[in-house]
């Protein structure tokens, strides 16, 4: 492998370790997310959704703690679909929306998610799901054993790739079609795939 490739991988992994993000600015406020998405059920109380402005209703839920509420909203709970049915919302956007609804609009937007739970390891997720397309390069998916296919994509940085996995990218659906996954799950899976591709050695 050329030195430059090493540098790209090392640089991306260092950014990952530092948690540096260049995507935060694009994320929407709690108010925006609630108005666009959550209010479809939480304004009227559809299917038992706690209503915005209903202090007693929300207290029942919010005594679990905001971290727990975020986990439920990410994975889905009862009749509430994972990510409110919008898998392209980031965990941060979900956290902000919850803070907004629980405080009835008084909460300032927090700068980080209350929780970004993991339900599986990156390796498990890749082997059980991502390989369906990334093993044989279905619909142009960069293959796990093909670092050359990943190299140009790495120019957008690890955060950019994680953002693509969250929001979807061309033929790849948002959250790879698994709406219950958290941002952290996807980050772990992307990291695993990129490291695998960079260290892949064909068997003779």
Which token pair is 129? 């799901």
The answer to whether the beta carbons of residues 191 and 16 sit under 8 Å apart is yes
Spell out, one character per residue from 2 to 31, where the chain touches ligand HEC: x when CB under 6 A holds, - when not: ------------------------------
Spell out, one character per residue from 83 to 102, where the chain touches ligand HEC: x when CB under 6 A holds, - when not: -xx---x----x--xx----
User: Minimum Å distance from CB 203 to ligand HEC?
Assistant: 24
The answer to whether the beta carbons of residues 111 and 91 sit under 8 Å apart is no
How many C-beta atoms surround the C-beta of residue 201 within 10 A? Answer: 6
User: Minimum Å distance from CB 1 to ligand HEC?
Assistant: 20
User: Residue 93: CB partners within 8 Å, gap ≥ 6?
Assistant: 27, 28, 30, 33
Spell out, one character per residue from 44 to 83, where the chain touches ligand HEC: x when CB under 6 A holds, - when not: --xxxxx----------x--x----x--xx---xxxxx--
Report the alpha-carbon distance of residue 102 to residue 83 in Å, rounded.
17
The answer to whether the beta carbons of residues 170 and 111 sit under 8 Å apart is no
Report the alpha-carbon distance of residue 40 to residue 20 in Å, rounded.
34
User: Minimum Å distance from CB 60 to ligand HEC?
Assistant: 8
Spell out, one character per residue from 176 to 195, where the chain touches ligand HEC: x when CB under 6 A holds, - when not: xx--------x--xx-----
Which token pair is 63? 């005594």
The answer to whether residue 144 forms part of the interface with ligand HEC (CB under 6 A) is: no
Q: How far is CA 136 from CA 16, 111, 122, 170, in A?
A: 27, 39, 19, 17
Of residues 74, 115, 165, 174, which one binds ligand HEC by CB under 6 A?
Answer: 165
Residue numbers at the binding site for ligand HEC (CB under 6 A): 33, 37-38, 40-42, 46-50, 61, 64, 69, 72-73, 77-81, 84-85, 89, 94, 97-98, 125, 129-130, 132-134, 138-142, 153, 161, 164-165, 169-172, 176-177, 186, 189-190
């Amino acid at each position: 492998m050329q030195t430059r490739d090493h540098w790209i991988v090392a640089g991306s992994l260092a950014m990952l370790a530092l948690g540096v993000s260049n995507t935060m600015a694009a994320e929407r406020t709690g108010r925006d997310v609630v108005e666009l998405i959550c209010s479809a059920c939480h304004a009227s109380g559809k299917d038992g959704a706690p209503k915005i402005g209903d202090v007693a209703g929300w207290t029942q839920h919010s005594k679990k703690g905001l971290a727990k509420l975020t986990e439920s909203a990410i994975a889905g709970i009862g009749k509430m679909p994972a990510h409110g049915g919008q898998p392209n919302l980031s965990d941060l956007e979900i956290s902000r929306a919850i803070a907004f609804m629980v405080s009835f609009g008084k909460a300032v937007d927090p700068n980080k998610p209350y929780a970004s739970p993991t339900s599986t390891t990156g390796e498990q997720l890749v082997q059980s799901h991502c390989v369906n397309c990334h093993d044989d390069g279905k619909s142009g998916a960069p293959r796990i054993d093909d670092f050359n296919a990943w190299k140009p994509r790495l120019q957008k940085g690890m955060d950019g790739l994680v953002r693509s996995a969250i929001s979807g990218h061309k033929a790849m659906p948002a959250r790879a079609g698994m709406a219950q996954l958290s941002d952290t799950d996807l980050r772990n899976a992307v990291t695993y795939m990129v490291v695998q591709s960079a260290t892949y050695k064909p068997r003779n």
